[in-house]
């Protein structure tokens, strides 16, 4: 089990416990956009999935709220995702995270690639009940930082592009709700351009209805790798 020190926006600090971490893949509502993301990955050698959406179980220990991660080599990249966190005391919470993935490994085994990198998560969370009625209006964004430090918009899209949480939970767990200590990454937005490694990423979940955002930035330290 992984324990993380977080806070509910406008409320007290909370300790989030995670005993199960699930990553949703190819979770778009629109078939054409799902196909676009599949082709993005096929272009770097990733095999087409047999079913959509897919759900990957990964180790909860990969979750981190730290401002930096270490990866092997320079062939990984981030993916902005809304994150659902089921807690015992505070109910269903929402965060912003990144499904950082090893693209080289992804070329031959997607499930293994999901296990290769830490999964960054912002420390500040929202209550799902506060955004449930306008979930589709939420906007997920990601910026990448190149070696010169330039901040470049990398992903952007509203959550109406992705399956609604209730549908995702039903497909992933065969139930109307998740068990406590379960974390679900809800799928990503199309990349603007090509999948690109970067020295750092910044992710945002913006709520235009309540005029607020969740933010997280993390650096990527690529460890030397020799064959």
| Residue in 172, 227, 192 with CA at minimum distance from that of residue 55 | 172
pLDDT at 37 over 80: no
| Residue in 53, 36, 51 with CA at minimum distance from that of residue 190 | 36
pLDDT at 203 over 70: yes
So what's the pLDDT on residue 151? 97
CA-to-CA distance for 166 and 148, rounded, in angstroms? Answer: 41
- 59-106 residue pLDDT tens: 999 999 999 999 999 999 999 999 999 999 999 999 999 999 998 898
Local confidence band at 58 (pLDDT 50, 70, 90 cut-offs) = very high
Number of domains in the chain: 1
- pTM score, whole prediction: 0.94
Q: State which residues form the domain around 169.
A: 2-223
CA-to-CA distance for 26 and 38, rounded, in angstroms? Answer: 8
Q: Which residues pair with 15 in a beta bridge?
A: 5
So what's the pLDDT on residue 39? 81
Distances (CA, A) of 223 to 76, 106, 111, 199: 11, 18, 22, 12
pLDDT at 227 over 80: no
CATH number at residue 110: 3.90.850.10
pLDDT at 36 over 80: no
Asked if residue 142 lies in contact with residue 155, where contact means CB atoms within 8 angstroms, the answer is yes
For tokens 């929202």, the residue is: 126
């Amino acid at each position: 089990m992984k324990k993380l020190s977080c806070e509910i926006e406008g409320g007290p600090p909370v300790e989030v416990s995670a005993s199960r971490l699930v990553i949703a893949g190819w979770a778009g509502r629109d078939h054409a956009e799902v196909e676009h993301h599949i082709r993005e990955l096929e272009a770097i050698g990733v095999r087409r999935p047999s079913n959509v959406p897919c759900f990957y179980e990964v180790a909860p220990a990969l979750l981190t709220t730290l401002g930096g991660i270490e990866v092997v080599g320079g062939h990984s990249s981030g993916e902005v995702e809304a994150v659902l966190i089921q807690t015992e005391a505070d109910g269903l919470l929402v965060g912003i995270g990144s499904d950082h993935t090893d693209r080289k490994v992804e070329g031959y085994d997607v499930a293994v690639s999901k296990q290769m990198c830490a999964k960054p998560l912002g420390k500040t969370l929202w209550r799902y009940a506060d955004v449930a009625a306008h979930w589709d209006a939420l906007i997920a964004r990601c910026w990448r930082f190149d070696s010169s430090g330039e901040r470049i918009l990398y992903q952007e899209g509203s959550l109406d592009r992705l399956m609604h949480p209730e549908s995702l939970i039903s497909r992933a767990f065969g139930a109307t709700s998740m068990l406590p200590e379960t974390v679900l990454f809800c799928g990503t937005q199309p990349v603007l351009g090509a999948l690109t490694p970067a020295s750092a990423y910044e992710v945002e979940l913006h709520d235009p209805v309540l005029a607020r955002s969740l933010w997280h930035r993390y650096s990527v330290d690529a460890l030397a790798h020799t064959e």
